[in-house]
Amino acid sequence: MKYKSIFISDVHLGTRYSKAQLLYDFLAQNSCENIYLVGDIIDGWVIKRKFTWHEHQTQVLERLFALAKGGMNVYYFAGNHDDFLRRFLPFRIDDRIHIVESMTYEALNGKRYLVMHGDQFDNVSVNRQWLAELGDWWYNLFLSFNTPINILRKMLGRKDYWSFSRAVKNGVKRYASKKTNFKEMLFEYVTAKGYDGIIFGHIHKVEISRYKTIDYINCGDWVESCTAIVENYDGSWEVVQIPMGL
């Protein structure tokens, strides 16, 4: 498929559970004028604890460089897991690869969107990084439970995939969001800056919706959801999801 722009986030390259092969296939089968990598593409936190890298993860990076060489604009946004980049921002690699903190996206529907990772509105990530890193360690542990749980579910006749780690993560995120007013902080910042909406990552929950007066667009992730947000040439927004299996 050919799109105007593709937005992906939270690939977490360098971790055992990154679905790099599926992302590589997606990038090989689809094209666009611009691709936005909306943070946490490389997971510096996990790499510090235990370096895990495989061929498919290298292929994703090679594919992105090849796309840029072929004329595609590539924008890489620093997130909390690849925050080691923030001390150098902004900078470029060649003419087509831009490493940034945030930027404005002028959409075909005439609206202006703020694009950023979104951890800037997460009180735990900003003020209690040690707690965020501890939570990340637990999340990676819970990810290891998903396969045996779903094998058991399949034996019991359940064909649908269910993620234990996602259920726990979403529960914690809902609780934290209520305590810290994540959406409200995001809304106030976006409207104060005069934007019509925001495109972000961080929370691993793909969504295209309205929150009060703004468009609220989250890219999901490539650990459990394998989702991308795409802008079609008719100006519409769409979620593209790649089936994972077990």
Give residue 175's pLDDT. Answer: 46
pTM recorded for the entire structure? 0.80
pLDDT of the residue at 193: 97
- Residue 169 in any domain: the answer is no
CATH number, domain containing residue 83: 3.60.21.10
Contact of 169 with 140, CB cutoff 8 Å: no
Please name the amino acid found at residue 204. H
- 73 within some domain: yes
pLDDT of residue 49: 75
Whether residue 171 is contained in a domain is answered as no
- Contact criterion met (CB below 8 Å) for 201 and 38: yes
Question: For residue 146, is it within any domain?
Answer: no
Integer-rounded Cα radius of gyration of the chain:
18
Closest CA to 30 of 240, 223, 225, 205: 240
**CB under 8 Å to 147, separation ≥6 — which residues?**
246
Q: What are the mean pLDDT values of the chain's consecutive 10-residue runs (246 residues total)?
A: 96 92 96 96 82 88 95 95 90 91 97 96 60 56 56 64 57 53 92 98 95 97 94 98 75
Residues spanned by the domain of 185: 2-125+176-241
What's the pLDDT score for residue 131? 53
- Token pair, residue 74, equals 């590539």
Show the tokens assigned to 167.
């259920």
Number of domains in the chain: 1
Determine, yes or no, domain membership for 151. Answer: no
Nearest to 100 by CA among 115, 120, 81, 118: 115
Q: Is residue 166 part of a domain?
A: no
Task: Report the distance separating Cα 28 and Cα 133, nearest Å.
Answer: 33
10 occurs within a structural domain: yes
pLDDT of residue 181: 82
Q: Establish if 106 belongs to a structural domain.
A: yes
